[in-house]
Structure 1
């Protein structure tokens, strides 16, 4: 079985042989396996939180929550369902000063997550979210027992914790001090904030809108209000009459209907294959340009092997007439939309639910449609097509089938659009509240055991760094570790792993533990250790009270790791890393002896390894950052430690003796 992935030197791209411009939208993989993710997980998480903050309207009680979090490092958020507790929790953590720590969600009960009482759970300056809004009272009772230990760790690490309480969840008297109750913010202000972010001028949405007032008559959750604002935006874009704010709100209100009966009647009345193909295509590519709709409809008919129409092209119905038959039309911008807002979603549901035998072919059509070369087929439209398809799989509980489809797209790197589609499909699964855990578990299995055919390695790398890591960095670290173990040649997964552990001292400690926890690490882990065990961050405390290197446990990991390096890898491989270690020792002040001791202890008094270490030190002298004299002093100090390890008398530094015994010069 081929269980490694290597560099692809020649990227494959689309060929454009017709007239007009070709718009290529970042789908080139360049060999996905050789690329690492473009942005750090910390940056992605902060960007997501920043966007949330932009559309957030502070509820009553938010000020008290901020005060408690600032003074006590912990706040328990309580409030009615739909009040936006989880969003408020994320905003509270985003508003904190950005230090060395990272944002992460705790997942109590997940078999991969350490217990809330584990001393290694909290990193220095971490911003922790414990979202228990959907927890049952039994689960909440179990978690409450561990909250005191968690709070203590948070305080010791100068971290911050926001706990979103479940509905009607009791709280012990000693924790009531840290409880803040929020209420739902003004619905109209939330609605207007979303409209502003949709770039709708205020002079438009300040007009009277009876449909919106009717919508607000019922108690609406923050999510429902956001959805309503999105539908208003879509109605405004469609330019359907009545084309004013009141009319957009009417259409947004009506779009809350399921339209199921209307769609069923339309499908019953339109029995020709060409009509139904156009209906489904318009639903899947809703708001696409008419050219895309036309070509994708023809492709669907070919995919379904429908008989060709023998009518002469000039005698056939034009696209405008055919769209009218399915209650759709092209707007002034040439983009096709149904006459009723929200009708597209109902059509997708109808075809998926009532024509199950077509599902496999519809998925194949979506794949081939994404590969079409058309200047109107943008990256966003391709992504939306995959999202709409994934939505149907997840809605009907077919998450395994969606994962298999992503696997199929990953395995065929002939067209760079397919790996991108696989990333979008897996992202939809990972972001699903119901099936996110299933996808994380599946991706763990793939990273560890699955044959990495085609561009699957690159796809897994992207979803680990860009989707999993921003909220669950520990789980992303484990998956990247498995990928990095299997690399040959290029090391994009190892690069991403090093970037991830660089965001948190806690993650670096955990990674060192993973690499050295067994008495005899594998050769791949010995190679990975050299990259992860970078002496510079290990000796830099940052904003923490002490550096990682000052911890006895980390020192043990370092010694174990270097021992495996010396005994498993050739000197040519570890030479540059040892040289960097010695350079760091030269600048480490009172930690110089510690760094040298760890290297010498790792040799287990093996003369060959001690001599090799000494030769590296001699070679490193001229390039020491403090000058060659500083390098010489470090070498002399190392020699004293080598002599002591071999039971020899310390030799005068000025004599510059031959290499340690048991070796050849």
Structure 2
């Protein structure tokens, strides 16, 4: 069994959702059998073929969304790379920062070649080696290796590893390596000519992004002051952000004119750090700063929600009371007016588009001594009965953004632990679980901090005593967020969770793995990690149970192409050898399922697993005879068992004997 190391790379985020279309449940309502710390119902095998509406992989959605907005780069490099990737192989592309070189790499994988484009995976580097193991890479997989964040000294250490990986996979997979412009010479010698990806026409990129949002700018809007920077030298990420701000201006209904939306968006994207700093430093009263921060974190909340949340911040921050009676102080509406906070049907807002984000950033970066108080305040607001669910979610998301931006993962982890305690009141448990899941989703998908959270998941998953509510939300996050981009790491974590101390967690993790197994490249990865070495006799109960689901013919034959690989057949044989040698109550049922599939490859694997042990071969043949006696139509079963008997005879070198002289079956 293989447990792969975690990956470390400069680009750490990952997002997505990829699943098979089969619904599997490893615990049944009747016939339950206890084996070690695993429950399995014999009726579970009957449900392996149940169907659920297929869930669209978010990784595929991510590529499709990018495809809608993508404008091909200038120059011949992109077309040449597409030509090289008509069949499995490797291309190395390069481009200037901000040219959209990573997007170009993704689109090369999305638009080139044949096969299932949803089998996309991002490679990472661990201690000079590429992850995942190249032996787990399947036919037609799409692989992206981003090396733009590495320096020359680092690249020299991993270049040989990349070459070894490429030699292993390029006959069956599509690999795009993205390097920075100053790395071209170093990579061109060994990997062929590096193809330069030019920058797309910027106006076309902006127009395409806006079209996707249903926005068409009038001709005169293209002469709006401030737009020239974006059209002449803007990075692709800046243009995407500009389009997003135009959409935000439209949604805020500041104007009915698309040209005004663009002007508002450009103003919002102007460097507002100075405006935020001036707005805060002009305030002398700490209570006013608290109100401004609250409004920035809860933009759009009602007056009552802002009032309650500000009071909680003053309490958590231990701000001294003014000592005067509330009748002697300004009323709350006057305080909002003094701070130039807009109150309308949409709630309390900071009028200037984009200034709320600049204020949040200013408070978090400029007041590090208050970050613990800010975290405790978020917990207090979430506990409030006066703040609505959507605004609780909003404040949690903005807290996550700021904590990640300043690199303080610990604040997020602490709240996750707090919101997944075992002793939470039942009526609040689900709400807290949702908010904890939001925090972890932000962490896992963060560009710089994603690796830290995947490592945290690994540590939690390995501990069978991890709080059950936390383990329960880890399962879907492994399946839907980690798996599409870091498939191997998701499988490793789910396997550990399948050994958790809570039965529901074990079942959920196993079911998640089997849902992923509906995609061939996941099926092979799971088997790769389950299978003991050929000289081992250790096959833990959780892995046996997972194998029972993985080997169900209803699932296995959906990914039947895997049976064409000798490594897969050897691994299945190894697993069956240990199961037949020490059978569980469900073993005969799974054997008969394999016989019922009437697949000669499956029968050959069973016989190879039992050979050359006469007792195991007799046990196998006995199961076949009992199945034949009860099977309908009897003729089909008889043919299968006759073939099985012939294979058993060959395994025992008894083909010269008459039927009467063959060894008897054993009931074992």
Q: 1:612-627 to 2 correspondence within 5 Å?
A: 613-621=620-628, 627=633
SS in 2 for 1:471: coil
**Greater relative contact order structure (CA < 8 Å, 6+ sep):** 2
Q: Does 1:83 align with 2:105?
A: no
- Could you give the per-residue CA deviations for residues 305-350 of structure 1, whole angstroms, max 9, x where no partner exists? 668899999997665433222222134x423321333322232234
Q: TM-score, length-normalised on structure 1?
A: 0.79
Q: Summarize the Cα distance change of 1:600–1:290 in structure 2 as closer, same or farther, 3 Å threshold.
A: same
Alignment partner, residue 641 of structure 2: 635
Match of 1:105 among 97, 100, 122: 122
Q: Secondary structure at the match of 1:75?
A: strand
Q: Does the aligned pair in 1 maintain the 2:67–2:107 contact within 8 Å?
A: yes
**Hey, what does 2:412 align to over in structure 1?**
402
Superposed CA RMSD in Å reads: 3.9
Maintained 8 Å contact 2:303/2:347: yes
Q: Are 1:194 and 1:226, in contact at CA under 8 Å, matched by a contact in 2?
A: yes
Matching residue within 212, 217, 239 for 1:202 = 217
1:391 to 392, 396, 401: 401
Paired with 1:456 and 1:502, the residues of 2 have a C-alpha distance of 26
Match status 1:137 vs 2:152: yes
The answer to whether structure 1 residue 52 and structure 2 residue 105 are counterparts is: no
Secondary structure, in 3 states, of the residue corresponding to 2:342?
strand
Match of 1:43 in 2: 57
For 1:81 and 1:392, the matched residues in 2 are separated by: 25
- For residues 337-416 of structure 1, the aligned pairs below 5 Å read 337-370=349-382, 377-378=389-390, 381-412=391-422, 414=425, 415-416=429-430
Does structure 1 retain, via aligned residues, the 8 Å contact 2:491–2:525? no
Asked if structure 2 preserves the Cα contact closer than 8 Å seen for 1:303 and 1:361, the reply is yes
Structure 2 match to 1:524 = 542
Structure 1 segments unaligned to the other structure (5+ residues)? 1-5, 10-37
After TM superposition, the score normalised by the length of structure 2 is 0.79
CA contact (8 A) 1:104 1:470 kept: yes
Which of 291, 303, 306 pairs up with 1:278?
A: 291
1:299–1:369: 8 Å Cα contact kept in structure 2? Answer: yes
**Do 1:290 and 1:336's aligned partners in 2 also have CA atoms closer than 8 Å?**
yes
Of 457, 471, 475, the match for 2:485: 471
Measured in 1, the distance between the counterparts of 2:542 and 2:471 equals: 17
CA deviation vs aligned residue, 1:180-237 (integer Å, no higher than 9, x gap)? 322211222222222333333434x752543333433762211112222323333444
Cα distance in 2 for partners of 1:107, 1:388 equals: 28
CA distance in 2, matches of 1:473, 1:50: 20
Contact 1:86–1:164 (8 Å) recurs in 2: yes
- Structure 2 distance, partners of 1:139, 1:505, is 30
SS at match of 2:519: coil
Report the CA distance shift for 1:94/1:247 in structure 2 as closer, same or farther (over 3 A).
Answer: closer
Q: Quick one: distance in 2 between partners of 1:92 and 1:249? A: 34
CA-to-aligned-CA distance 1:583-615 (integer Å, 9 cap, x gap): 12x2x14x25413313423xx7374x5565445
Q: What CA distance in whole angstroms lies between the structure 2 residues aligned with 1:443 and 1:393?
A: 18
| Matching of residue 190 in structure 1 with residue 190 in structure 2 | no
Counterpart pick for 1:334 among 334, 337, 346? 346
The answer to whether structure 1 residue 660 and structure 2 residue 665 are counterparts is: yes
Q: Which residue of the other structure, out of 90, 109, 112, is the alignment partner of 1:74?
A: 90
The answer for the alignment partner of 1:502 in structure 2 is: 518
Check conservation: 2:145, 2:177, Cα contact below 8 A.
Answer: yes
Partner of 2:5: none
Measured in 2, the distance between the counterparts of 1:94 and 1:548 equals 23
Question: CA-to-partner distance for each residue in 1:59-105, whole Å, 9 max, x for gaps?
Answer: 21333332232267332222211100001111221224662471001
Residues 377 and 522 from structure 1, CA distance in 2 versus in 1: closer, same or farther, beyond 3 angstroms? closer
CA distance in 2, matches of 1:261, 1:212: 18
Residue 593 of structure 2 is aligned to residue 598 of structure 1: no
Q: Secondary structure at the match of 1:556?
A: helix
Mean Cα deviation higher: 41-50 or 470-479: 41-50
CA contact (8 A) 2:137 2:521 kept: no
With over 3 angstroms needed to count, the CA separation of the structure-2 counterparts of 1:310 and 1:238, relative to structure 1, is farther
Aligned counterpart in structure 2 of residue 577 of structure 1, from 576, 584, 590 = 590
Distance 1:189 1:623 in 2: 68
1:480-504 CA-to-partner distances (Å, cap 9, x unmatched) read 1111123654411111112223323
Shift in alpha-carbon separation, 1:211–1:619, aligned structure 2, 3 A: farther
The 3 A distance-change label for structure 1 pair 197 and 336 is farther
* Cα distance in 2 for residues equivalent to 1:326 and 1:186: 42
SS state at 1:108 partner:
strand
Shift of the 409–141 alpha-carbon distance from structure 1 to 2, 3 Å rule, reads: same
